[in-house]
Amino acid sequence: MSPVNSLLGIEGLVIERVDNRRDIHVWARPRERLACVHCQQTAVRIKATYRRTLKHSRQGNQLVVLHLSVPKYHCPGCQRYFRHRFAGIRPRLQATEAYRLEVFEAHEGGVSQRKLTATHAVSSATVERWYQFFIRQRVSELSGRSCPQVLGIDEHFFSRKQRLCHEPGGSQEP
Ligand SMILES: [Zn+2]
């Protein structure tokens, strides 16, 4: 595996070109076509290719920017279209999940939004949004592991308490 490949850490990519100047720009495409996401037919055709530019990581004082070729496939089996999906890259975002996590962990570790704006070329609002995203993800992971009975009792308790507080002045008449 080339240094750039391990540097990217994204499965199934072929590196086409690397431009190492102020930032490190990496051009890459999928190693192979996907099977149809609708019917699993493997003989799909490439209908068009889009380019996506994503921030991927920071190496020293350089940003690693990924320029991805994203094929749009046509499936002759079911006649439907779909775009190539990459592990670790969500649709529509302009950064990889690795990058978002990197920013989240830095911010959680005490790096300010202002500092991250300078080092990671993202706005304060973006840092805040990503931070909230990973916090919510962590909370939902934790609540999935904890005992549901205890949660149930808590929710019940709060809803009953709220009802007790609000009912006397409420409009409900017997
Ligand atoms: Zn299909």
| pLDDT in the model for residue 82 | 95
Which has the higher per-residue pLDDT, 36 or 148? 36
Q: Ligand 1 mean position to 35 CA, how many Å?
A: 8
Q: Ligand 1 mean position to 67 CA, how many Å?
A: 27
**Whole-angstrom distance, CA of residue 75 vs CA of residue 116:** 43
Q: Ligand 1 mean position to 30 CA, how many Å?
A: 19
For residue 57, count CB atoms less than 10 angstroms from its CB and return exposed for 0-12, middle for 13-18, buried for 19 or more: buried
Contact 86, 33 (CB under 8 A): no
| pLDDT in the model for residue 145 | 64
| pLDDT in the model for residue 70 | 95
Confidence of residue 12 (pLDDT cuts 50, 70, 90): confident
| pLDDT in the model for residue 160 | 46
| pLDDT in the model for residue 5 | 53
Torsion sign across C-alpha atoms 156, 162, 165, 166? negative
Q: Ligand 1 mean position to 150 CA, how many Å?
A: 45
pLDDT tens-digit map of 76-133: 999 999 999 998 999 889 999 999 999 999 999 999 999 999 999 999 999 999 999 9
Q: Ligand 1 mean position to 14 CA, how many Å?
A: 25
**Whole-angstrom distance, CA of residue 61 vs CA of residue 122:** 15
Q: Check: pTM over 0.85? Answer yes or no.
A: no
Q: Ligand 1 mean position to 152 CA, how many Å?
A: 43
pLDDT tens-digit map of 36-77: 999 999 999 999 999 999 999 998 889 999 999 999 999 999
Residue 120: name the closest of 166, 63, 71 by CA: 63
Q: Ligand 1 mean position to 81 CA, how many Å?
A: 8
Q: Ligand 1 mean position to 92 CA, how many Å?
A: 23
